[in-house]
Amino acid sequence: MKQSTLIILKTLTWVACLWPLGLLVYGAATNNLGPDPTSNLALTTGYNTLLLLILSLAVTPVRRLSPRLNWLIKFRRLLGLFAFFYGTVHMLIYVALYSNFDVRAMLDDIARRRFITVGVAAWLLLVPLALTSTNWAIRKMGGKNWGRLHRLVYVAAVCGIIHYWWQVKTGVLSPLRLTVVLAVVLAARPVWSFWQKWMKGRKSAT
């Protein structure tokens, strides 16, 4: 892929990732966030955290479909960092607007309300991944150690989906779409490994 094309695609990715935030800022400035602005802010940032996280996880299985898609790997880190960005904004909305910076109230919520417990756990799992997302961190840690650490992203994604399900009311199916996509992405790795072993077995048999 040409460098100019890559720059254009990355620029478009930045615009697409920042678009939901821009809409929220505009809605807040024009007092147009609906009857419950705080809930709108929390739901939008939480949803986009999960969406971007799942998209970042989908990069590897999608690029395996064809060598022509290898350029997608250049967007995985960017998508992951934007997921962490929206997750952090989501967390700050809880800290500032729901808990009013009351540490005791937050600790009580974490201990008693399971959807908050698992949500905080998901964000905490993303923190070391964001901090070690640089090339410098990869060199210092070594590729294998870095890879082991960054497998936590799968746990974080599952915790995020659970947080979403536990947060909505019983009977609400809004998390279903993201859940199905994440399930497909998570299943892709073992399916690919099985396919590779099966193909090697066939070649060795012939």
Reduce the DSSP state of residue 206 to 3 states and report it: coil
Given a cut of 70, whether residue 51 has pLDDT beyond it is yes
Question: What does each C-alpha distance from 156 to 119, 137, 163 come to in angstroms?
Answer: 9, 20, 10
Angle in degrees, CA 167, 171, 173, rounded to 5: 70
Band (pLDDT 50/70/90 cuts) for residue 105 is very high
Tokens of 113: 């309300």
- pLDDT tens for 14-45 read 999 999 999 999 999 999 999 999 999 999 99
Cβ atoms 88, 78 nearer than 8 A: no
pTM, 2 dp = 0.92
DSSP state of 59: H
Look at residue 194 in the predicted model and tell me its pLDDT.
76
Q: Which residue has the higher pLDDT, 152 or 192?
A: 152
How far apart (Å, rounded) are the C-alpha atoms in residues 167 and 174? 11
Residue 121 has phi, psi (to 5 degrees) of: -60, -40
Per-residue three-class SS string for 133-201: CCHHHHHHHCHHHHHHHHCHHHHHHHHHHHHHHHHCCCCCCCCHHHHHHHHHHHHHHHHHHHHHHHHHH
Between 203 and 183, where is the model more confident?
Answer: 183
**Does residue 205 register a pLDDT over 70?**
no
For the stretch 118-159, pLDDT in tens is 999 999 999 999 999 999 999 999 999 999 999 999 999 999
Taking only the tens place, the pLDDT of each residue in 64-95 is 888 888 999 999 999 999 999 999 999 999 99
Q: Residue 47: exposed, middle, or buried by beta-carbon count in 10 A (0-12, 13-18, 19+)? A: middle
